[in-house]
Amino acid sequence: MKEVVRKDVLYKVVKFRYGLNTGLFAWILHRLTGLALVLYLLLHLTVLSSLAKGPQSFDNLMAKMNILIFKILEVGLFGVFLYHGLNGIRVIMSDFGMESKYQKALFWALFAVVIILVAIGGYSIIKHALH
Amino acid sequence: MRKVNSLIWYLQRFTGILLLIGLGIHFWVLHFANKTGEYVYKDVAERLSNPLWKVFYIVFLAVVIYHAMVGLRMVIFDFRLPGFLRRIVSIGLLIAGVLLFIWGMNSLLAVRPL
């Protein structure tokens, strides 16, 4: 395991005051998307608990959620998941010393991939609510 | 403790890769291969009647909760906390993770074929 200097929140905040660089931006976004995904996990488990109340209860709840606003939120969730997952791979590569030279380029490339996949996947998610 | 933290660190990376694959499959099945765009009990029951899908979702549940709880721990530990608070946070998240897993399993195992 590579020896890393521990960078706490105070360090990041001070660094932030001197300008938002790509690495810091990626770190903040990774933390925010992670927290959003944990929050979503709790909501998801709450919704899925209706499965234990029987088919009618689950189907009624799902029917209420089959509207455009929830589909848009699902597209957002898809984007959050994609960013967190792909940036996570970049972090793993960095942890094992694999991409220090191309870190910046790799970050913006993955950002572009997220946008393209959200555009393609987003339409597929939303189309049912549009027709 | 150092060895445990090292194991947690490696497992967080490993579960992250598993989740990228697992969530990819989950999204594909529910959102992209779903022709109607609706989520109904019948489809969930049909999928879970296959033991492979059942095992997939049980493992998926465990992996996602592990990754989420360790992730939260990392965010909280970014704020320099004294040792005793770090232990309280770790134990609290461990208990929360076990309870979330039981809650999820309760929903998962309650599904019966129609």
Q: What is the DSSP string of A52-114?
A: GG-HHHHHHHHHHH-SHHHHHHHHHHHHHHHHHHHHHHHHHHHHTTS-STTHHHHHHHHHHHH
Least confident of A11-25, A48-62, B2-16: A11-25
Q: Give A110→chain B minimum CA distance, Å.
A: 14
CA nearest A64: which of B41, B36, B39?
B39
| Chain A residues interacting with chain B (CB cutoff of 8 angstroms) | 1, 8-10, 12, 31, 34-35, 37-38, 41-42, 45, 48-52, 54-55, 58-59, 62-63, 65-66, 71, 74, 78, 81, 85-86, 88-89, 92, 95, 121, 124-125, 127-129
Please compute the mean of the pLDDT values over residues A4-28 and round it to a whole number.
Answer: 71
pTM score, whole prediction: 0.88
Nearest to B15 by CA among B83, B61, B49: B61
CATH class of B2-110: mainly alpha
Which candidate, A75, A95, A88, places its Cα nearest to that of A30? Answer: A88
Q: Tell me the nearest-neighbour CA distance from A104 into chain B, angstroms.
A: 21
Give CA–CA dist B14/B72, Å, rounded: 16
Give just the sign of the alpha carbon dihedral B28, B29, B35, B36: negative
Query: Cβ separation of A121 and B31 shorter than 8 Å?
Result: yes
Which of A34, A63, A129 lies closest to B75 in CB terms? A34
Classify residue A8 as left (phi > 0), alpha (psi -120 to 50) or beta: beta
> For residues B35 and A26, which has the higher predicted lDDT (pLDDT)?
A26
Quick one: pLDDT at residue B33? 86
| Yes or no, beta carbons of A38 and B20 under 8 Å apart | no
By three-state DSSP, how is residue A7 classified? Answer: coil
Closest partner residue to B100 (CB to CB) among A45, A86, A121 is A45
Mean pLDDT of A61-67: 92
Question: What is the interface pTM, i.e. ipTM, of the complex?
Answer: 0.92
Question: In chain A, what are the domains?
Answer: 23-130 (1.20.1300.10)
- pLDDT tens, B62-111? 999 999 999 999 999 998 889 999 999 999 999 999 999 999 999 999 99
What average pLDDT does this structure show over A2-6?
Answer: 51
Taking CA atoms, what residue in B is nearest to A93?
B13
Mean pLDDT of B7-31: 95
Q: Which residues of B touch A37 (CB under 8 A)?
A: 68
CA distance A108 to chain B (A): 19
pLDDT at A52 over 90: yes
